[in-house]
Amino acid sequence: MDDLEGLVGRKLPRDEDQLNELLYQIKCEISHPALENQGVLQTTTLQDDSELHIENVDTNRPDTWSTEGIARALRGLMGIEVGLRKYSLSKKPAVEISVDKELRDVRSFIACVVARHPKINDETIRGLIHLQEKLDQSYGRKRRRSSIGFYDFDLITPPLRYGVADPDEIRFIPLEGTESLSLREILEKHPKGVEYGHIVSQHPKLPILLDSQGKVLSFPPIINSNDLGRVTSDTKNILVEITGTSEDTVMNTLTILTTSLADRGAEICPSRVHYKYGKARTVITPSLTERKFTISTRDIRKIIGLDLRPKEMISLLRRARYNGTASGVKSLVVTVPCYRLDILHPVDIIEDIAIAYGLNKMKPRWPPDLTIGGLSPVEEYSDNVRELMVGLGFQEALTFVMTNQEKLFTKMNQEPTQIVEITNPKVTTMTCLRHWLLPSLMDFLSNNTHIEYPQKLYEIGDCAIWDFTQPNRVVDVHKLGCVSAHSHANFTEIKSILEPLMINLGFEFTLKPTSHPSFLTGRVGSILIGDRDVGIIGEIHPQVLENWKLEDPVAAMELDLSQLFMIHKESAGEAPKQPTSERAN
């Protein structure tokens, strides 16, 4: 509590309701682990003035996972320091790092900073280690995407070399250890090696960070050395190092740690990283660049539901630690702090304006319009297609829109293309959104090889397609996919399904020979209506069948229902034709 109040610059309320009112605005709340274990859920005053337990319920804001970040936000909400907090770097880089080309396929990115003379003590160091663990486990995906190391910079002789080493070539004493171990022995014997070794153990050579005298700083992402990787309250200058497989995650993690140390009074000295693989380049780290968004004042009023003037909006933005200026009378230009990694869209900023105003101050009101729900025209059209597919002898499958790149590309014998990826996926099986349906159906077949054949499946569902003309750069496309799996499945069979389907939908179509890595050469075609490509049909390639561990041939097709619906609307100004029950049968 003393540390938090020292950073805030003011005493905080001891009444829990009042303090929680402040913490709620940064999506935190007070917790009492000991009392909760005893079944006591609520108290009115803090039980121990010396210690404060805070539960952070917003996993999207790593800037508030530390005492420094919470204090920074509270200073704005309490009006002590409003507006954008500026962070500056010293002009001269404190350290140079060279990155060996052999790291490209191992653990390819690194970022460093030197914090000179931070105001730290034992409690501060425990807080930094706590923040390190939280970032490693969550934002860094258990050290796979990024991992953090702290070092006593005064014991290090720059420049640094981030390279690879034979598992038996280099030995050092791991942090908190007494025995010198090789990299292989660390993977086999050390608790951290056992826990995290799977991240790098498959490579013949392992990542290593050395100074110019060949002294080991760390074996990323496993463990620091005991000689250089120990930070105490006597440490005057701290080197922070982040390595990882995602450059964005590495740079963002360093930004969070840099701003925390800067809030402790440290002078921030950047590093210069020289990448030797691919197209050689040099990167200055950290990056403390702010971002700018232009937001319509009309959108702010509409979303929040308050008739705020531009000056009031700017004042609320400053309480939330943004800077804002009026751009004419209809929009604001908002500057977002470098540490706000969660701001992806103007609506995120509008939410912070509402929070700064006070959600509890807003008077609830009933919606002004009463509406009756119903199916959209596209969904009604899709239901008609479902009826047809059932009439043609197919069974409907329902699968997830979220999937992973292995299913979309590797198992479908395709080279990766641009798709919508999840920034912080919770599981490795769901890391992106699908852009076509056939991989989902092939996965379904792969999981049901024990079921009797023939298996005839269809699915109608959404796919996320990149479209840079859209505000969010993505458009949802409704598609139909179907597969027929049995010992005699072939192109002729699947074409005999396409023909009655298109006739019942009122289309005349042609097939144009094409090539596609997921299909057998010579037995695949594009489905055309006029000159519009609306889908693909053919026999699945044997390599794809092997990838999915399928023994029987599979014939498949996929149609863009959204495009078919639009063609119907455009044809002679008529509504989309709905098949009669007789034609469907």
pLDDT at 311: 94
pLDDT at 584: 36
Q: Which two tokens stand for residue 63?
A: 């800037």
pLDDT in tens, 228-265: 988 998 999 999 999 999 999 999 999 999 999 999 99
Distance of CA 188 to the CA centre of its chain: 32
| pLDDT range class, residue 374, cuts 50, 70, 90 | confident
| Backbone φ and ψ of 427, nearest 5° | -135, 155
What is the rounded CA–CA span in Å between residue 481 and residue 520?
A: 17
pLDDT at 114 over 90: yes
pLDDT at 156 over 90: yes
Mean pLDDT of 322-326: 94
pLDDT at 512 over 70: yes
| pLDDT range class, residue 580, cuts 50, 70, 90 | very low
CATH topology of domain 291-361: Phenylalanyl-tRNA Synthetase; Chain B, domain 1 (3.30.56)
CA angle centred on 332, ends 287 and 304, rounded to 5° = 105
| pLDDT range class, residue 578, cuts 50, 70, 90 | very low
Long-range contacts of 202-206 (CB under 8 A, 24+ apart): 203/105, 203/106, 203/164, 205/102, 205/106, 205/164, 205/165, 205/166, 205/167, 206/106, 206/164, 206/165, 206/167
| pLDDT range class, residue 425, cuts 50, 70, 90 | confident
| pLDDT range class, residue 576, cuts 50, 70, 90 | very low
Pick from 5, 76, 60: which is nearest to 28 by CA?
Answer: 60
Mean pLDDT of 32-49: 58
pLDDT at 336 over 90: yes
pLDDT in tens, 77-100: 999 999 999 999 998 899 999 999
Mean pLDDT of 524-545: 94
Mean pLDDT of 319-341: 93
pLDDT at 585: 32
CATH topology of domain 95-285: Phenylalanyl-tRNA Synthetase; Chain B, domain 3 (3.50.40)
Number of Cβ within 10 Å of residue 230's Cβ equals 15
* Per-position b or e across 293-332, b if 16+ CB within 10 A of its CB: bebebeebeebbebebebeebbbbbbbbbbbbeeeeeebb
What is the rounded CA–CA span in Å between residue 117 and residue 131?
A: 19
Number of Cβ within 10 Å of residue 486's Cβ equals 16
pLDDT at 204 over 90: yes
pLDDT at 375 over 60: yes
pLDDT in tens, 497-507: 999 999 999 99
pLDDT at 8: 94
pLDDT at 277: 86
pLDDT at 263: 95
What is the rounded CA–CA span in Å between residue 242 and residue 253?
A: 8
378, 562 Cβ separation under 8 angstroms:
yes
Mean pLDDT of 108-136: 94
Specify the pTM.
Answer: 0.69
Pick from 385, 328, 383, 330: which is nearest to 504 by CA?
Answer: 385
% residues pLDDT > 90 (the chain): 75
| Domain map (residue ranges) of the chain | 2-77, 95-285, 291-361, 377-584
pLDDT in tens, 454-473: 999 999 999 999 888 887 88
What DSSP character marks residue 4? H
CATH class in words for 377-584: alpha beta
Residue 109, SS3?
strand
Residue 42, SS3?
coil
pLDDT at 321 over 80: yes
pLDDT at 269 over 50: yes
pLDDT in tens, 338-367: 999 999 999 999 999 999 999 888 988 887
CA pseudo-torsion sign 166, 171, 172, 178: positive
Q: Which two tokens stand for residue 304?
A: 């929040």
Pick from 264, 290, 238: which is nearest to 94 by CA?
Answer: 238
pLDDT at 368: 78
DSSP letters, 501-535, are HHHHHT---EEEE---TTEEEEEEEEEEETTEEEE
Whether cis (ω within 30° of 0) applies to the bond prior to 310 is no
What is the rounded CA–CA span in Å between residue 509 and residue 523?
A: 17
More confident residue, 36 or 540: 540
Name residue, tokens 């269809």. 458
pLDDT at 381 over 70: yes
Distance of CA 280 to the CA centre of its chain: 27
Q: Return all residues near 581 (Cβ < 8 A) that are at least 6 apart.
A: none
pLDDT at 211: 95
| pLDDT range class, residue 583, cuts 50, 70, 90 | very low
C-alpha distances out from residue 298 to 171, 309, 471, Å: 63, 10, 17
% residues pLDDT > 70 (the chain): 95
CA dihedral 270, 272, 273, 276 (to 10 degrees): 180
Output the CATH code of domain 2-77: 3.30.56.10
What DSSP character marks residue 421? B
Q: Which of 31-45, 465-479, 530-544 has the lowest average pLDDT?
A: 31-45
| pLDDT range class, residue 35, cuts 50, 70, 90 | low
pLDDT at 391: 94
pLDDT at 229: 86
2-77 and 291-361 share one fold: yes
pLDDT at 179 over 50: yes
